[in-house]
Structure 1
Amino acid sequence: MASAPSVEPNMRDYEETRRTFRWDVPEYYNFAVDTIGMWAADPARPGMVHVDHEGRERTITFAEFAQRSDRLASALRQHGIGPGDRVLVVLPRVPEWWEAILGIMKVGAISLPGTTLLRPRDLEYRINASGAKGIITDPEVAARVDEVAGSCPTLTVPIVVGGERDGWISYDAALAEAPADFEPVRTRSDDPCMLYFTSGTTAHPKMVLHTHASYPIGHVVTGRFWLDLRPGDLHWNLSDNGWAKAAWSSLFGPWSVGATLFIHDARGRFDAGQTLATLERYPITSFCAAPTIYRMLVLEDLAKFKPAALRSCVGAGEPLNPEVIETWREATGMTIRDGYGQTESAVLVANFPSVPVRVGAMGKPTPGFEVAIIDDEGRELPPGEEGHIGVRIKPGRPVGLFHGYYGDEALTNEVFAGEWYYTGDRARRDEDSYFWFVGRADDVILSAGYRISPFEVESALLEHPAVAEAAVVGSPDPIRGQIVKAFVVLVPGTETSPTLAQEIQDFTRKVTAPYKYPREIEFVAELPKTISGKIRRVELREREVARKGGGS
């Protein structure tokens, strides 16, 4: 078993930090100017180690990012982008993504990050819903934008990175022609800064609006306390740049504390073996990945895995199953520390380095946030009772919480109710204030009077040696209302059979409460997922409703 390097955590005493932590929010603040400018004062301080899709490596300093983003901001201003304008940024893991986000901040505009997997229809919706004036993207996505550009009247400043295209502004040419001296817009902390689209289950994606405080300053707690980073650390986050987790762990969290990003612009399908080899080759000290990634990594032969400098591993996006945490710990000596939050927030609940990890628990509330389990009327529930995860917003609203849903006042008012922000997730709290995830409010299965957490059943299924991945949903049933159905991906080389399905059902009955076992099992080659790696249970539920011809 590998031995993780020992480093004193930033948070040495959880309770003391909770008592003494205070948000520091000036009246005027701009992350690109104030924080990146501070690190850029040292011209040699590394901001990023970048490995491109062909394996070429280079180190980029904070000073270079400051200079390049100044150039971009100057170019944007020349082309009519100014305070409040919306600009989509749809790029793979190339340095221009970071330059673009910083440059947009400096000109006082609002960035809208998106994944390169967006199709023409997705792009059209995002451009028109936000009223975007500009887009910065690569030639492949630019071709998709051209398919719908005639239906996007607000889009007047299209910029292409890494190539030339008719009707588009060349990114490199624009920077070369822009004046080097740029005077950034002086932004207030409560001015709008970023818009993220987050998928709903029954409607178009919502637009989550963050200010210059709520994400850039809010993620100080993410970087300092959960990721446990400091100058000199090399942090690798596997998130796609289109997911808000990139803002968490590839931008604001690490750079707020002066850590260096490790960015590997790998293209194509995820390669678990290559990921382990990268951790062995580079002095990466901190690693962040979605649970799906860890589930694939533990299927590899970890007996000879010896990371070069790794001391901290975290997971986010959905809860990580206990058996995966145990397998990783046995092989590496490191415990994967879950963190919980949303596109709408910084990290809200987490397993912090100074707090003993209870495997399977979400952890404890983050300093700066008062998080509780509440009922429909906003009353706090006692330990052991399941309820809504709520974040207290009165008398003072925590900094790392979004401003609201852009263009949707009704939905904003729905989630900010009384003294609480309702996250839409459900959990329970134990006697020691550890939180235990149950599921999205619409994921919870109601079967014959029982409330069943899909995550608990999935965790039980994953303990079976033949199961690589599992997703559990409620399937309509005329007698029980819903039954538990499991979609199972088997370990490579395992053959499907009715006998195996029965064996897995019997196994689950023994591992968890008998009423939770999956009454139906369907073997599948893969599970539907979001770009961030979250299992799309909603898609599986809808498939079941369609198959059975109606709901309960």
Structure 2
Amino acid sequence: MRDYAEAVRSFELTQTATAALHGNLAALNACVECCDRHVGSHRPALIWEGRDGDTQRYSFDQLQALATRFANVLKAQGVQAGDRVAGLMPRTPELLVTILATWRLGAVYQPLFTAFGPKAIEHRLEQSHAKVVVTDHGNRCKLDEVVGCPLVVTVGAAAGELDFHQALEAAHSVCEPVMRTGDDPFLLMFTSGTTGPAKPLEVPLRAIVAFQGYMRDAIDLQPTDNFWNLADPGWAYGLYYAVTGPLSLGHATTFYDGPFSVDSCARVIAKLGITNLAGSPTAYRMLIAAGDDFSAPIKGRLRAVSSAGEPLNPEVIRWFADELGVTIHDHYGQTELGMVLCNHHGLQHPVQLGSAGFAIPGHRIVVLDEQGRELPAGRPGILAVDREQSPLCWFGGYHGLPTKAFVGKYYLSGDTVELNQDGSISFVGRSDDVITTSGYRVGPFDVESALIEHPAVIEAAVIGKPDPERTELIKAFVVLANGYKGSAELEETLRQHVRKRLYAHAYPREIEFVSELPKTPSGKLQRFILRNQEVAKQQAQQATPASA
């Protein structure tokens, strides 16, 4: 294992990668990087597991042949370099073929998450001006309600519509890849912000170099690994690091075509011999809740586990070590950045509970105050990327929209963090999530982590509720484990538990027991919804006496 400090000092890009990063290389194609380059290696590229237990394996040679044919299908529909092709499909081989075929034409792939309703789909297609949407029979009906929907290609199309497999079979088998520059986009993503409609951003081809760095140093993807990223390719973490990252390194990816469950997760890990796993804390907390039903069949099978999407609670870290005998590491990133701050499996450095880790080589991550000055250790501020000293930072702004995230040479993430003495950085919360109570600043994540350590709690969300005396008071929304019922006694028990674990002013003065917490489709906690609900309740209560 390489030393982290040495990896940073010796960070050097290849001549090809350097040219790509500066947009000086007009010889890049994502299908070539993620498929053609590895043809003839006799290694699997895709291992697909169906929900009924059927397993199929595809080599890079097979994917190249399929992507070439489907590229000709798209080309016949007028798709050219720079055009958008949207995919609304579950994790099937047809999805990967669609992505690679789009890239082969030098076109831009746009993911549409299968849980989206017609309005969410319509907004994204309207913004992207996609020429073609590729979908499956189960999602096809959503597009009937999309105003201005482009041409649709369907896996299992009804009579009279363009069918994926029929068109594929009839297509020509030769299609040369269209070469582009490092600054040309190959993905069009949409952020899921806390307010306003989702914003589009283009991911340039040079980002592939950064994706590879994450797979190599943070994930520690090795040739002997069987890798599974649980994230859906309809979102950034899945598309960047379940598709682009591993395939660009010539490594197989795993698709499970079914809903996430404890049983399916254990079955796939055992059956396919998964050794390297990546996913979200939401998924991992479900596994913990299952206890021995999950841990017993797979104990000792995993070599490395990585977590992204939300901060990793210390209780989750301890459970994976104690129950599965494997190290799980926390990773931080954004759709706009990819992963940039990690506890690296492949690099040697200190790891402390609650820390998101160190900057991935090729990035300089700093903490800024409100005046844009870099802060020393021990003082919370905004996580920022020094773009002048981060050659792997590829985000250039939102497509067609202004952004306030660029201030001087810095990109401001909007997340509140704190620099530690050892150089690592700890996540505090989204800037809007940090609670100010009686003059103290409290990160909701710390309180949530303390609550989750109690056996009665499965999940928790903590917000600041407006209060005339304290500015805000801490309120917790708690999902209970099976066998526990909400009561005044349990509320007090949880309050005292947090006071003991943290400090006197950080305990939740109010606790509400709920059946579920609001989350994005990718599993990120949406605390702002809870805050808005509390404000609305207060306003209604204040208005009631006056109206009476």
- TM tier, shorter chain? over 0.9
CA contact (8 A) 1:211 1:403 kept: no
Q: Does 1:203 align with 2:196?
A: yes
Question: CA separation in 2, counterparts of 1:493 and 1:547?
Answer: 30
Pairing 1:6-405 to 2, within 5 Å after superposition: 9=1, 12-23=2-13, 24-25=17-18, 26=20, 27=25, 28-42=27-41, 44-148=42-146, 151-152=147-148, 155-161=149-155, 163-165=156-158, 168-214=161-207, 216-267=208-259, 270-302=260-292, 304-307=296-299, 309-353=301-345, 354-394=348-388, 397-405=390-398
Matching residue of 1:433:
423
SS in 1 for 2:411: strand
CA contact (8 A) 2:87 2:111 kept: yes
2:212 aligned partner, one-letter code: V
2:429 aligned partner, one-letter code: G
Q: What is the CA-CA distance between 1:346 and the residue it aligns to?
A: 2.4
Q: What is the CA-CA distance between 1:166 and the residue it aligns to?
A: 5.5
Q: What is the CA-CA distance between 1:551 and the residue it aligns to?
A: 13
Question: TM-score if structure 2 supplies the norm length?
Answer: 0.93
Of 437, 440, 444, which residue of structure 2 is paired with 1:447?
437
CA contact (8 A) 1:273 1:300 kept: no
Quick check: 397-406 or 173-182, which moved more? 397-406
Can you give the 5+ residue segments of structure 1 that lack an aligned partner in the other structure?
1-8
Matching residue of 2:513:
523
Question: CA separation in 2, counterparts of 1:69 and 1:323?
Answer: 44
CA contact (8 A) 2:232 2:239 kept: no
Quick check: 312-321 or 123-132, which moved more? 123-132
Q: What is the CA-CA distance between 1:32 and the residue it aligns to?
A: 0.9
Matching residue of 2:462:
472
2:245 aligned partner, one-letter code: G
CA contact (8 A) 2:387 2:393 kept: no
Q: What is the CA-CA distance between 1:338 and the residue it aligns to?
A: 0.7
Q: What is the CA-CA distance between 1:281 and the residue it aligns to?
A: 2.8
Question: CA separation in 1, counterparts of 2:240 and 2:127?
Answer: 24
1:252-283 deviation per Cα after TM superposition (whole angstroms, max 9, x unaligned): 2222222221221123xx32133123323321
Q: What is the CA-CA distance between 1:512 and the residue it aligns to?
A: 0.7
SS in 1 for 2:298: coil
Matching residue of 2:546:
none
Question: CA separation in 2, counterparts of 1:441 and 1:106?
Answer: 40
Using a 3 Å threshold, how does the CA distance of structure 1 residues 380 and 167 change in structure 2: closer, same or farther?
A: farther
Question: CA separation in 2, counterparts of 1:341 and 1:371?
Answer: 11
SS in 2 for 1:59: strand
Question: CA separation in 2, counterparts of 1:83 and 1:501?
Answer: 59
CA contact (8 A) 1:195 1:208 kept: yes
Quick check: 370-379 or 28-37, which moved more? 28-37
CA contact (8 A) 1:233 1:260 kept: no
1:31 aligned partner, one-letter code: A
Matching residue of 1:4:
none
Question: CA separation in 2, counterparts of 1:301 and 1:438?
Answer: 29
1:106-130 deviation per Cα after TM superposition (whole angstroms, max 9, x unaligned): 1111111121011011111111122
SS in 2 for 1:123: helix
Question: CA separation in 2, counterparts of 1:51 and 1:130?
Answer: 31
Using a 3 Å threshold, how does the CA distance of structure 1 residues 74 and 13 change in structure 2: closer, same or farther?
A: same
Q: What is the CA-CA distance between 1:233 and the residue it aligns to?
A: 1.9
2:166 aligned partner, one-letter code: A
Using a 3 Å threshold, how does the CA distance of structure 1 residues 400 and 139 change in structure 2: closer, same or farther?
A: farther
Matching residue of 2:545:
none
CA RMSD between the two structures: 1.8
1:39 aligned partner, one-letter code: H
2:95 aligned partner, one-letter code: W
Q: What is the CA-CA distance between 1:31 and the residue it aligns to?
A: 2.2
Question: CA separation in 2, counterparts of 1:398 and 1:252?
Answer: 19
SS in 2 for 1:125: helix
Question: CA separation in 1, counterparts of 2:349 and 2:269?
Answer: 26
1:389 aligned partner, one-letter code: L
Question: CA separation in 1, counterparts of 2:120 and 2:276?
Answer: 34
1:174-206 deviation per Cα after TM superposition (whole angstroms, max 9, x unaligned): 211211110121111111111111111120001
Question: CA separation in 2, counterparts of 1:147 and 1:52?
Answer: 29
Question: CA separation in 2, counterparts of 1:168 and 1:108?
Answer: 26
1:362 aligned partner, one-letter code: A
Quick check: 138-147 or 436-445, which moved more? 138-147
Question: CA separation in 1, counterparts of 2:303 and 2:512?
Answer: 39
Question: CA separation in 2, counterparts of 1:217 and 1:400?
Answer: 10
Question: CA separation in 2, counterparts of 1:439 and 1:168?
Answer: 48
1:29 aligned partner, one-letter code: L
Question: CA separation in 2, counterparts of 1:128 and 1:449?
Answer: 46
Of 474, 480, 485, which residue of structure 2 is paired with 1:490?
480
Aligned length: 529
Matching residue of 2:497:
507
Using a 3 Å threshold, how does the CA distance of structure 1 residues 524 and 167 change in structure 2: closer, same or farther?
A: farther
Can you give the 5+ residue segments of structure 2 that lack an aligned partner in the other structure?
543-548
Matching residue of 1:3:
none
CA contact (8 A) 1:349 1:363 kept: yes
Question: CA separation in 1, counterparts of 2:371 and 2:134?
Answer: 44
Question: CA separation in 2, counterparts of 1:197 and 1:54?
Answer: 32
CA contact (8 A) 2:84 2:131 kept: yes
